[in-house]
Amino acid sequence: MALLKRKSDVIDASLKDFLPPRGSSAYAEINDYYEMLWDYNLRGGKRLRPALVFFSCEMFGGDSSKAIPSAVALELMHNFLLVHDDIQDASELRRGKPTLHKIYGEGSAINAGDGLFARTWSTLNANRKLIGATKTLRIFKEFAEICNYTVEGQALEMGLVRKGRWDLSEVDYYKLVELKTAHYTTTYPLRIGAIVAGAPAKDIKAFNAFGKPFGTAFQIQDDLLNLVGEEGKYGKEIAGDIYEGKRTLPLIHLFRKCNAKEREALVSIMNKPRSEKTEEDVQLVLTKMKEKGSIDYAREKMTAFAKEAKAIFEKKFAHVAENDGKRAIKLLIDYVVERQV
Amino acid sequence: MALLKRKSDVIDASLKDFLPPRGSSAYAEINDYYEMLWDYNLRGGKRLRPALVFFSCEMFGGDSSKAIPSAVALELMHNFLLVHDDIQDASELRRGKPTLHKIYGEGSAINAGDGLFARTWSTLNANRKLIGATKTLRIFKEFAEICNYTVEGQALEMGLVRKGRWDLSEVDYYKLVELKTAHYTTTYPLRIGAIVAGAPAKDIKAFNAFGKPFGTAFQIQDDLLNLVGEEGKYGKEIAGDIYEGKRTLPLIHLFRKCNAKEREALVSIMNKPRSEKTEEDVQLVLTKMKEKGSIDYAREKMTAFAKEAKAIFEKKFAHVAENDGKRAIKLLIDYVVERQV
């Protein structure tokens, strides 16, 4: 998408400024660690979160070049979360390449994730000269909140997997999505851009109401792409969520539509450890989903959330004059639903 | 040690204020995660780092109650590092109990570590009301630096293990210790306490010169306790460092004192994965160390570093009037060398 591409070029260039210079350590082992950071951060990726920071800043008349450290920090934090998430889920592919722990081993990948988190923090220090002490502190607080929410979301998701629990409702699913995805993918990036621009408190807060359906639509599309995407484009394993036992909307729908006997069979497949799930197991789940309309259901729900997000955006931000930033955010609602990556 | 005990009571009480209230989530899985944080943080531990923050603050006439968030944050960060370190080293015991990943699995333990890092950050937000924006930002910067250094130290240590490298010199060992231990155990806690107190820049900087030998003495005693400590007191497995292939001072001395044939035998033991090392292997290394005087050598070096630290402290801080804080720091130099925990 051209809109994202323009911003992702800025992020790619700026990321390099905030990563440790390649080969700059006297120790080969520390340079290896730097390479891990460079490799992972420059594999590409949508750069959706930093783009939202920039557009929200522009929407409120801010200079988006002043949002660069916050946008870069958000991308670093995102990548920190992905590195650890890949270990936790035993994922093998990320952005079309082997995951870091597959290349370097788990211990070094845990450490590289920690390093990205540490870099998130040091990158935010650059805010001080650009936007002053008050906003810098405000943004530190936003980041601390996002991290705490996201870790709780991960704890919830992994806890459900560990306990083999499939008795969760759609409401539970939406809470999980809010914690593990919506806060850090949509709500907080938008809040942070608005803070850089100096937007009124009411407008910053309005992004909470908007970010939730927007982020939920994003996650449902992620659930769907994981099932029906093209591996070459998508960059992750197809049906990886089924292998990993993830609680996704199509699966929750499927559980609801199954009778007791079908449910029992489904639980026994889904609770197998990843290494014991066969391709046949996964195909069976996919077939059942198609049979029960679970994929269509999730697609409808996604569309409804995107529509809700649009309506909230129009209502909450009616007083903000049309401008490029505002238009871009609206376009991104459609993008989130239509994306193939 | 009574001196540490008094401060650790403050830290234990304050940690509770900054951890999420037990059972406060609507989700059992999130409450499980809170329990992990409570369990690990309240297992005790020396609380040396927060104590150094308090004493340094008092040494410069500061009110150490204003250093509480910084001291708590440092303990949270220390525990974050330990949780991940235990996974990386496949350690089984910490503070006399099974390590978190042994109880909850690796994925959840990685996440609990991330959660402690996130809490480190949110705890530092409490500084603003206590010590104002400028010092709060200054301390955020200190924490970002510590984290970056410590992760680089971990990268160096794990890289050496991964490559099976034993060609490192004593100078390399001291660099490793500075990165992975001294910065976050002695130098930065002392700097941070001085910042809270509003000490002059020159005094804050002087802690770098002092913290390095002080922290190095601390690490060498850690190397020694790991070899000759009592498991009941020490709370970790005895000779765990040999099982884990850690680069310690006694081992580096031993390598230096071995002839080519002995060295070859030693490398083949030390580079075995943890699970393949037998008790006999470990006993053989211990016997060789005693034979070659490696333990005595390390003990002498530790004493020399402690002496150097004392001399630097006396010289750099001669202008600071004697007071309880200053006396406590000097006593802690002896403690670090004499401790059994």
- Reported ipTM: 0.94
Specify the number of domains making up chain B: 1
On chain B, the residues whose CB falls within 8 A of the CB of A162 are 105, 108
- Written as one letter, the residue type at B116 is L
Q: Which residue of B has its CA nearest to A116?
A: B148
- Written as one letter, the residue type at B195 is I
Tens of pLDDT, residue by residue over A18-63, are 999 999 999 999 999 999 999 999 988 889 999 999 999 999 999 9
What angle (nearest 5°) sits at the alpha carbon of residue B253, between those of residues B247 and B257?
Answer: 130
How far is it, in rounded angstroms, from Cα B295 to Cα A105?
A: 32
How far is it, in rounded angstroms, from Cα B248 to Cα B241?
A: 8
**Amino acid B26: pLDDT:** 96
Across the range A314-325, mean pLDDT stands at 97
Answer whether residue B229 shows pLDDT above 80. Answer: no
Q: What is the mean pLDDT of chain A?
A: 94
Residues 6+ apart with CB under 8 A from A330: A310, A313
Q: Distance (Å) from the C-alpha of residue B185 to the closest C-alpha of chain A? A: 17
Name the pLDDT band for B266 (thresholds 50, 70, 90): very high
User: CB pairs below 8 Å between A and B: how many?
Assistant: 165
Token match 């390590």: residue?
B99
**Helix runs in B98-181, H state only:** 100-104, 106-125, 127-163, 170-177
Question: Over the range A160-170, which residues count as b (16 or more CB within 10 Å of their CB) and which as e?
Answer: bbeeeebebee
Answer whether residue B13 shows pLDDT above 80. Answer: yes
Contact A30 B163 (CB under 8 A): no
- Tell me how crowded residue A72 is: count the other CB atoms within 10 A of its CB: 27
Mutate to test the interface with B, among A82, A103, A143, A154 (most CBs of B within 10 A): A154
B73: tokens are: 């944050």
Q: Is residue A169 less than 8 Å (CB to CB) from chain B?
A: no
Across the range A64-91, mean pLDDT stands at 95
Answer whether residue A1 shows pLDDT above 80. Answer: no
**Amino acid B334: pLDDT:** 93
A105-119, B227-241, B252-266, B303-317: range with lowest mean pLDDT: B227-241
How far is it, in rounded angstroms, from Cα B287 to Cα B320?
A: 47
Phi, psi dihedrals of residue A93, rounded to the nearest 5°: -125, 145
A95-99, A137-141, A241-245, A337-341: range with lowest mean pLDDT: A337-341
**Amino acid B90: pLDDT:** 87
Answer whether residue B95 shows pLDDT above 90. Answer: no
Mutate to test the interface with A, among B86, B123, B137, B151 (most CBs of A within 10 A): B151
Q: Distance (Å) from the C-alpha of residue A313 to the closest C-alpha of chain B? A: 29
DSSP character string of B252-277: HHHHHHS-HHHHHHHHHHHTS-GGG-
Answer whether residue B83 shows pLDDT above 70. Answer: yes
User: What is the SS3 assignment for A210-263?
Assistant: HHHHHHHHHHHHHHHHHHHCCHHHHCCCCCHHHHHCCCCHHHHHHHHHCCHHHH
Phi, psi dihedrals of residue B76, rounded to the nearest 5°: -65, -45
The answer to whether the CB of B180 falls within 8 A of the CB of B209 is no
Range of the domain at A291: 2-338
How far is it, in rounded angstroms, from Cα B242 to Cα B273?
A: 11
Name the pLDDT band for B3 (thresholds 50, 70, 90): confident
- Tell me how crowded residue A112 is: count the other CB atoms within 10 A of its CB: 28
**Amino acid A231: pLDDT:** 61
Residues 6+ apart with CB under 8 A from A300: none
Answer whether residue B234 shows pLDDT above 70. Answer: no
pTM recorded for the entire structure: 0.94
**Amino acid B232: pLDDT:** 63
CATH number, domain of B329, equals: 1.10.600.10
Q: Is residue B115 less than 8 Å (CB to CB) from chain A?
A: yes
Answer whether residue B274 shows pLDDT above 90. Answer: no
How far is it, in rounded angstroms, from Cα A50 to Cα A65?
A: 12
